[in-house]
Structure 1
Amino acid sequence: MSKILFVTGASAGIGAATARLGPEHGWDRVVVHYGRDRDGAEAVAAEVRETGAEAFVVGADVRDDDHIATMLLAVADLPPGPIGLVNNAGVVSPTGKLADCRPERVRQVFAVNVFGAIEVARQTVALMRKWGKGGGIVNVSSAAARLGSANQYIDYAASKGAIDTLTLGLADELAPEGIRVNAIRPGLIATDLHAKGGEPDRLERIGHTPPLGRPGSAEECAEAILWLLSDGASYVTRSILDVAGGR
C-alpha cells in the first residue's frame, strides 16, 4: 500500500531533510508543506521526485484554521494510504528576556508552534480515521522544552513544552486505534533557526558544548523522525527522543 509522508514546515531545515530522506525509508508519496517559502518547498519536492517518489507541494498558514482545512483537502484528494504526519512547522522570535515576551510576540509563537500543531494533528487524525489505513505522528519539539532557554526565548521553550505534553496525551488517546505518537527534541542543530532568532553565530559560539562536542544536522534529526514512523519502531509510542548530542 502506497504510504504518504506529510511534513509541515518542509521548505527548509529539519522538515526539508525529512521530506528528502522519506523515499529512502519507503515513503513513495511526500506532501511538502510550506508557510511562505514556496521556492524552497518546490526545490525539496524536485529532489524527492528525482528518487522516483511522488511529491506534492501545499502552502498553508498554520495559524489559520481555514488554511489548514484547505491543506487537508489537498491531502484527502490523494488515493488513500497510511499517513505519517511530521508536525514540524514552527517559528522562533528574536532572542530576549521575559521583558521582551510581550503578549503579541507570545501569541505569534504559540499560534504556529502550539495552536497550529494541534489543529494539524486534529484534522490529520480525522483523515486517518476516514480512510482507515492507519498511520503515525511525530511531533518536533526542542531541547529548549527541557532547558527553558533563559535569557533567550522562554516563550519558544514554553511552546515546545506544550508539544511534549501534546505528544503524551495524544499517544494515550490514539493508542487503541493503533496510531503511534512520538516526538523528537532537537538540540543545537545546524539550521537557519538560529539566524531567525537573531543569533546567526550561535553554533560557532556554543556548538562544541554538547557532550558529543559538535552541533547536529537536520539529516540526523530526520533519521530519528523516520525511524519513529517506521515498522522498526512498531512498539514505540508516547516517547520523546532527544536528538541533542547528550545536551
Structure 2
Amino acid sequence: MSSSRTGVVVVTGGSRGIGAATARLAARHGYAVCVAFRSDAEAARAVVGEVEALGPAAVAVRADVGLEQDVERLFDTAENALGPVTALVNNAGVLERQCRVDEITADRLQRVLSTNVVGAFLCARQAVLRMSTRYGGRGGAIVNVSSAASRLGSPHEYVDYAASKGAVDTLTLGLSKEVAAEGIRVNCVRPGIIATGIHAAGGEPGRVDRIGPLQPMGRGGTAEEVAEAIVWLLSDAASYSTGAFIDVSGGR
C-alpha cells in the first residue's frame, strides 16, 4: 500500500471504457484504485496492472452492483486491501439492443434498471456509510456517470437506458443535498457519443462513426475526455461543487 496518495477510489464498471480510463487517470493523480467488474476478469486484471505500473496500489473485485451483498463485499474488499474509501465513481452501466418502447419487455427493464439504477443507489449507500462524518468518516466525493441520453430521451434506440440515466441525475441532486453537510460532495458527468464498447452491446458497433460527425463539434468523444471531468470532480479543485453536472457531449 502506498504511503503517500490522494485517497482510495472505487470505480464500478472499471474494466472497460470510461471506467478503465478513469481508473488510469485517477492513479496518475495518486489514488489507489478498486476496479469493480462483473464479468471480464482478464480486462480488470489488466487495468490493475496499469494502475500499479503508475505507482498506486490496486485491486480488482468481481461484483454485480445490482446485488446488495455483492456491493457490501465490494466495499469491504476495497477497504481491506487499500484502506478507507474516499471516493466512488458510479460508472457501471448496461444497455440492450436498440428498439422502440413498444418492444421493451419487463425482463429487459429489470436488467437495465438493476445495474443502472439499483446499482448506483446501492453503491452510493455504501460510500455514504463509510465516508460520511455522520458515521465517523472523513468525507469524500461521489461522481455518478449518467448520459446525455437523460436529456435527449434516445427515441427509437434506448428509451429505457435514457430513463435509467434520468434516475441517476435525480439521485445526484437528492443525495448531494442530503450529505452536503457531512463532508461528501456528489456530482455527475453526462457523456455524449463516446467511443467505447457499449455501442456493440446495442447492436451498432459503428454508432460513433455514424453519429459523431453530426455533433456540434463534428466528432465523437473519447473515454479519456470523460475521465478528465470525472477526476476533476473528485479532486479538491472542485471543492465547492456539489449537485453539479458536466456534459461531456461535444455540444449536443
Q: What TM-score do the two structures reach when normalised by structure 2? A: 0.94
Q: Which residue of 2 aligns with 1:15?
A: 19
Backbone CA RMSD of aligned residues: 1.2
- The one-letter code matched in structure 2 to 1:231 is D
Superposed displacement of residue 75, structure 1: 2.0
CA distance in 1, matches of 2:88, 2:82: 16
Superposed displacement of residue 226, structure 1: 0.2
- The one-letter code matched in structure 1 to 2:114 is A
Superposed displacement of residue 81, structure 1: 4.0
Matched residue of 2:187: which SS? strand
Q: Which residue of 2 aligns with 1:212?
A: 217
* Aligned pairs (5 A) from 1:83-94: 83-94=86-97
Q: Which residue of 2 aligns with 1:24?
A: 28
Matched, 1:168 2:173: yes
Q: Which residue of 1 aligns with 2:199?
A: 194
* Aligned pairs (5 A) from 1:115-130: 115-129=118-132, 130=135
Question: More displaced, 172-181 or 128-137?
Answer: 128-137
The runs of 5 or more residues in structure 1 that have no matched partner are: none
Q: Which residue of 1 aligns with 2:72?
A: 69
4+ runs deviating over 2 angstroms: 78-82
Superposed displacement of residue 78, structure 1: 4.0
Matched, 1:246 2:251: yes
Matched residue of 1:242: which SS? strand
Cα offsets for 1:193-243 (capped at 9, x unmatched): 111111111112111111111100000000000000111111111011100
Matched residue of 1:208: which SS? helix
Superposed displacement of residue 19, structure 1: 0.2
Structure 1 102/223 Cα, relative in aligned 2: closer, same or farther at 3 Å? same
CA distance in 2, matches of 1:228, 1:5: 13
Q: Which residue of 1 aligns with 2:43?
A: 40
CA distance in 2, matches of 1:96, 1:25: 40
- The one-letter code matched in structure 1 to 2:37 is Y
Q: Which residue of 2 aligns with 1:145?
A: 150
- The one-letter code matched in structure 1 to 2:118 is F
CA distance in 2, matches of 1:75, 1:125: 15
Contact 2:85 2:130 in 1 (8 A): no
Superposed displacement of residue 131, structure 1: 5.3
Structure 1 82/231 Cα, relative in aligned 2: closer, same or farther at 3 Å? farther
Q: What TM-score do the two structures reach when normalised by structure 1? A: 0.96
CA distance in 2, matches of 1:211, 1:117: 30
- The one-letter code matched in structure 2 to 1:51 is L
Cα offsets for 1:8-37 (capped at 9, x unmatched): 00000000000011122231x111110101
Give the share of equivalent positions with the same residue, in percent. Answer: 52
CA distance in 1, matches of 2:205, 2:137: 45
Matched residue of 2:14: which SS? coil
Matched residue of 2:162: which SS? helix
Structure 1 94/17 Cα, relative in aligned 2: closer, same or farther at 3 Å? same
The runs of 5 or more residues in structure 2 that have no matched partner are: none
